[in-house]
Amino acid sequence: MMPRIKICGLSRPADIDVINEVRPDYAGFVFARSPRKVTAAQAQQLRELLEPGIIPVGVFVDAALEEVATLAKAGAIEIAQLHGSENATYIEALKTRCDIPVIKALTVRTAADIEAADRTVADILMLDNGKGTGERFDWGFLKDAKRPTHPWFLAGGITTGNLEQALSLDPWGIDVSSGVEAQRGLKDPEMIRAFMDALRTLRG
């Protein structure tokens, strides 16, 4: 089965052009400190260029609830992805304010971190190495741990070169950012095309 694909860290209209061409499931806009950070106005512009059916996701690290809710109510994002210390109280308050799905990113250091992941009140999990490090956690933990019952993205250091191994772990979704960049913080259209082509070839 084809996993859901999220291409994250989009920051320019040219990025949206290639996203509209290759059609991943999700397009990620980063609002936290990062080389890929966009403003609310930039995100709104990029969102308006995005083809229907590709879901815009906002990426935050311990942002004020009102910041996230305002972007959601304006239609700039349809899902919030949280990479900080946001707890159940925060997530429930956010969902009350704007009623959008929430992805909670979790840093994996041991197999126990994966087994604890289902305690979240978020809708979707993201298993990652950290906050946008571009590095993999030890995927061997996924072979040792009980898998989450929540839908979950595999993230961190995924490239065309290790995509087949990533798919062998049977994630619900795959998140790629630095793996489709030739220059840090800037998406490369040919790398995005190659990634999506490889995915479709591997999944037939």
Each residue's pLDDT tens digit, 33-65: 999 999 999 999 999 999 999 999 999 999 999
Can you tell me which residue has the tokens 């209209």? 13
Once rounded to an integer, what is the mean pLDDT over residues 118-126? 95
Once rounded to an integer, what is the mean pLDDT over residues 130-149? 82
Q: For residue 131, is pLDDT > 70?
A: no
Give tens-digit pLDDT for 146-176: 889 999 999 999 999 999 999 999 999 999 9
pLDDT of the residue at 144: 79
pLDDT of the residue at 1: 76
pLDDT of the residue at 145: 84
Q: For residue 103, is pLDDT > 80?
A: yes
Buried b (16+ CB within 10 A) or exposed e, 55-75: bbbbbbbebebeebbebbeee
Give tens-digit pLDDT for 57-99: 999 999 999 999 999 999 999 999 999 999 999 999 999 999 9
Q: How confident is the model at residue 105 (pLDDT cuts 50, 70, 90)?
A: very high
